[in-house]
Amino acid sequence: MVKIENSMKILIVKSIKFVQLIKESIQRIFPQLIAILVAFLLGAIVLIFTGYNPVDAYYSMIIGAFGDIYGIGQTLTQATPIIFTALAFLFSFKSGLFNIGAEGQFIVGAFAAAITGIYIKNIPSPIHIILSILIGAFAGGVWGLIPGILKNKFGAHEVITTMMLTYVAINFTGYLVNYPFKAPGWVSQTLQIEKTAQLPRILPPTQLSASLIIAVLLAIIINYILQRTSFGYELRASGLNPLAAENGGINVKRTMLYAFIISGAFAGIGGAGEIMGVHYRFIEGFSPGYGFDGLAVALVGGLNPIGIIFAGLLFGALRSGGMLMSRATHVPLDIVTIIQALVIIFVAAPTLLQYILNWRRNKS
């Protein structure tokens, strides 16, 4: 009897704790949830004013994103690269940097992985895959290292340098894929990568590849690094208060340099995964701005690696659902961009949201 009572007690305590945990996490993501809700409401108003039925539009959007296996596959496929670039932005941001060049690092990583996949032949598939990803990470890391050095040595601000290096990346890979590495034919693309370098598709017949698994694992690893290792501690300390960090013996400049490199490497892995899992070749202009979406997703995800997974899914769903919406209801795809932008505005401006909430409260 006593035993049972005890185990009952433990169970009760545990379930209370569990409820508390859920309550706390909801409280933590509450601003994000409200922001998303408000954004969709305002989006509905835009739809009404442009003469569409918001209920129909949103319904087809949800069906498009989650209605069948194609929709789900498309949602997850679209989410994958954004999760990578969001993690890249987050990692540098935690150390006090504003690396907005994930797009460039993503593209450079993609190109390097493509070359590795095409021109190294006759090696076992797992090795070829790992090698391609590492080369992609390396290329992205180098692209992150350059602004790091420019900042440490010459004080150049990373917002400018990472932005500019993105253009360099776009145009340089553009040159390479149009001249030295161009595959025969009309399209500006490389040859296909070897079968051995292709990531397995995990939800056939959709394009969803193992790249998503890597992204989720990476998020968990980053969370662990930031919260539990001394390196993560130094990174966060440098970001929150560099003066105090220096006083505590932390080499802030070096920590930032590492953050630049690692951040670039994450974006590079994302680019590699996109080539190895989806396109199987480097195509000019294959990224519709995943790097910039990453910045927004990092913010919407509450600057938390796990939050980024969910925010990435939201943005992925918006992209894939938006496609069906525009096909089924003739609502232009731009409405998706408007909703995305509204979500970002309300997440990035929490005080604005607070103001709206308070205004409602005062009125009632």
Question: What are the residues binding another protein (CB under 8 A)?
Answer: 228-231, 233-234, 236-237, 240-241, 243-251
Query: Nearest distance from residue 245's CB to another protein, in Å?
Result: 7
Between 7 and 229, CB nearer to another protein: 229
321-360 burial string, b = 16+ CB within 10 Å, else e? bbbbbbeebebeeebbeebbebbbbbbeeeeebeeeeeee
| Closer CB to another protein, 152 or 241, in the complex | 241
Q: Which is nearer to another protein, 94 or 128 (CB)?
A: 94
Backbone dihedral angles phi then psi of residue 25, each to the nearest 5 degrees: -70, -35
| Distance (Å, whole) CA 74 – CA 12 | 41
State the minimum distance, in angstroms, from the CB of residue 244 to another protein.
Answer: 5
DSSP bridge pairs for 283: 189
CA distance 159 to 106: 16
Burial (0-12, 13-18, 19+ Cβ within 10 Å), 192? middle
Report the distance separating Cα 86 and Cα 167, nearest Å: 19
Nearer to another protein, 31 or 242 (CB): 242
Least CB distance from residue 89 to another protein, whole Å?
19
Cα angle value 296/229/135 (rounded, 5°): 60
Using CA atoms, how far residue 168 sits from 113, 161, 163, in Å, is 18, 10, 9
Nearer to another protein, 40 or 231 (CB): 231
Q: How far is the CB of 353 from another protein (least distance, A)?
A: 21
For the CB of residue 233, give the shortest distance to another protein in the complex, in Å.
Answer: 5
Closer CB to another protein, 8 or 244, in the complex: 244
Write out the two tokens for 172. 């340089």
Q: How many CB atoms lie within 10 A of CB 120?
A: 17
Closest distance to another protein from the beta carbon of 224 (Å): 8
Minimum CB–partner distance for residue 226 and another protein (Å): 11
Among 283, 134, 272, residue whose Cα is nearest residue 209:
272
* Of residues 232 and 316, the one with the C-beta less far from another protein: 232
